[in-house]
Amino acid sequence: MASNDAVTKTGKRRRSAIDGRTTRHPGYRMSQTRRAMIECIFGWGKQHGTMRRTKHRGIARVGADFLLNLIGYNLIRIPKLVSA
């Protein structure tokens, strides 16, 4: 969850910029789980794909490289999706 209200080593409770008015809604928790799934895709692209640093210039070429990374990620996911 994005609200950081954990207890520190000194025993103080952290103060979060996101209060209970936001976090109490069920849509907030759903949004956070979807966000984590999307971050996983970008993390894979940076670690295993070529999204860390682009080798291309221009929106079209960078977009094509990004699409190629997404295709590669989906190919990696196919065995998990078939078994489920």
> Given this model, what pLDDT does residue 23 score?
83
| pTM for the model | 0.64
- Give me the torsion for CA of 63, 67, 70, 71, rounded to 10°: -170
Domain ranges across the chain: 1-39, 48-84
> What span, in angstroms and rounded, lies between the C-alpha atoms of 23 and 44?
28
pLDDT in tens, 17-72: 777 788 888 898 899 899 998 999 999 999 998 888 888 999 999 999 999 999 99
> Given this model, what pLDDT does residue 51 score?
87
5 near 16, Cβ under 8 Å? yes
3-state secondary structure of 25: coil
